[in-house]
Amino acid sequence: MSNILSETQNQVLTLKINRPEKLNALNRETISELGNTLDEAMNNKDIRVIIITGSGNKAFVAGADISEFASFNNQEGKDLARNGQQELFDLIENSTKPVIAAVNGFALGGGLELAMSCHIRVASDNARMGLPEVSLGVIPGYGGTQRLPQLVGRGKANEMIFTAGMMKADEALSYGLVNYVVPQEELLTKAQEIAYKILPNSPKAIEKAIIAVNAGYQSGTNGFDTEIKEFGNCFGTEDFKEGTSAFLNKTKPNFTGN
């Protein structure tokens, strides 16, 4: 059985992590399958927005699969973090298409890190989020020590990491860790609603907006300079010609993403 279930509807690809018996914990196979599926989606012109969620109604992802790394040494630990970051978490953050996490329950450790690598997060009211790694004698390794402070501020991130505690959905909303909290049965509809608001806009411009926003969080990169460069690059695109001429002609633009 596949660890990832895919469904495309109206140019929105929904990926469901499918190991409900292990609360969708991310083993190596699942990370690699999700990475490959996302790679394919990046190259598929018919897909414009991606939603990632978990199977079942209990967990988004309850973390990296602890049974896989319990006997690792230092080097294996480093490799696990580096490979995971490159193969999946950085891939999502730098995706040219918007990725929305629909957090449908526990998002712990690698699960919260997965949600945080997405561009937008929506949570169900039963969601519980945290980075419990120090309770296992390890620290977050899939970007959690970097992305959590970016989203909730350093003080709250430190508290969450040091206490290994779980945040309820409403508190996550109040800290900006998620954009919306909705009843579980409305979660996918809410994520789709956001996706459908994105769809009418220029895919090329969205791609460049992602590059510019991300640049502000990369060391050694000046976000303002990247914004100037990508702003300029927009002027050479067909989407720009389409968007501006449609406005001036009082018609709706039909963007091709070129």
| Residues engaged in binding ligand COA (CB under 6 A) | 22-23, 25, 62-67, 106, 108-110, 132-133, 136
User: What one-letter code names the amino acid at 69?
Assistant: F
Q: Which of 33, 113, 207, 242 is catalytic?
A: 113
Residue 48 CA: distances (Å) to CA of 51, 94, 102, 195: 10, 14, 17, 9
Taking phi over 0 as left and psi of -120 to 50 as alpha, with beta for the rest, 15 belongs to beta
In this complex, which beta carbon is closest to ligand COA, that of residue 11 or of residue 18?
18
For residue 140, the minimal CB distance to ligand COA (Å) is: 8
The dihedral built from the CA positions of residue 140, 141, 143 and 145, taken in this order, carries a sign that is positive
Question: Does the active-site annotation cover 133?
Answer: yes
d(CA 142, CA 102): 19
Question: Does the active-site annotation cover 113?
Answer: yes
Q: Which of 29, 33, 76, 133 is catalytic?
A: 133
In this complex, which beta carbon is closest to ligand COA, that of residue 78 or of residue 197?
78
- Give the CA-trace dihedral at 129, 135, 136, 137, to 10 degrees: 130
Cβ atoms < 10 Å from Cβ of 135: 12
For residue 64, the minimal CB distance to ligand COA (Å) is: 5
In this complex, which beta carbon is closest to ligand COA, that of residue 64 or of residue 198?
64
In this complex, which beta carbon is closest to ligand COA, that of residue 81 or of residue 211?
81
For residue 181, the minimal CB distance to ligand COA (Å) is: 19
Residues with active-site annotation: 113, 133
